[in-house]
Structures are given as structure tokens and as C-alpha cells.
Amino acid sequence: MSERFQGITPEWHKEHEQAFELAQNEAKRHFHRCPRCHKYVCENDWNEQEWLCTDDAPRESTEVAAARAEKMVADIKQKAETTQAYTGEITQRQTICPICGKPAGSGKFCNNCGAPLGLKVCPKCGAKNPAGTSFCGECGNKLT
């Protein structure tokens, strides 16, 4: 540091020291020394109620808000884990052609014999029944 100010007049050094001391005194107002951990902290990290830094004495309102947020996240995760999105049973079904008795595929007609695979609607109850059935699966009415 002394090399940096080499060749400067003593008056300038005196002014510089006074300005530096004034700046230090001005800055000290914004910092506090914690009596417990002996660290200097800014006003944001100083707990005015306890006269300690927030590392040694956290602000109660901040801790309560953080605890509430953590609890809310935990509740959401627990609810998501226990929520069942689908309650049905997953089974693989294959359409059997009512005419030839072989697997018919997923189209409107049988892949093997070409027979139509549309559903028959019961004239009595309106239930849909597979092609090739003679009686309604809901009400037992004869399908035409």
C-alpha cells in the first residue's frame, strides 16, 4: 500500500487518512459486532430484538414463515403420494370375431374374415353389445 502512494505530498496523505477515517466511521453505523460470535454483520443480518446476529439468534417471524412453507411442501408431497390417480384395473382385452372366432384386431372389421365388428344397440335399454351376441347383456332382451 505504501508503494502505491509513493511520491505524494504529506498534505495529501493527511487528507487521505482523514477521509478514510471519516468513511470508516460512516460505514460502522451500518454494521454490528455480535457479542456471541464476534463477527461483524450488516443490518440485514442483525436481530434487533436479541442484539445478536441472525446466525446466533434467527428472527422468529422468518423461522415461522420458513417452517410453514416446509410443512406445506411436505403436506403436498404426502397428499400426492397417497392420491390414487387411477382406480380401475388394467387388463389387456382382445376382440374375438363372432363369425370366425379368431382375434379380430382393433378395426371395424375382422382382420381374418372381414365380418363387421360394430356394436349392436339394444332397442329396449340402449346398451351397446358386441356383434354376434343374440341377447342384451344388460336387460336380456333379444337382439335383432
Residue by residue, pLDDT tens for the chain (144 residues) are 556 767 788 888 888 899 999 998 888 888 999 999 999 999 899 998 899 999 999 999 999 999 999 999 999 999 998 888 877 777 777 778 878 888 888 778 888 888 887 788 899 998 888 777 889 989 999 987
In this structure, which amino acid lies at residue 77?
K
Phi and psi dihedrals of 118, rounded to 5? Answer: -65, 160
Position 44, amino acid: N
Report residue 64 CA to chain centroid gap: 21
Tell which residue, 59, 50, 53, 49, has the closest CA to residue 32: 53
Dist. CA 108–CA 115, nearest whole Å: 9
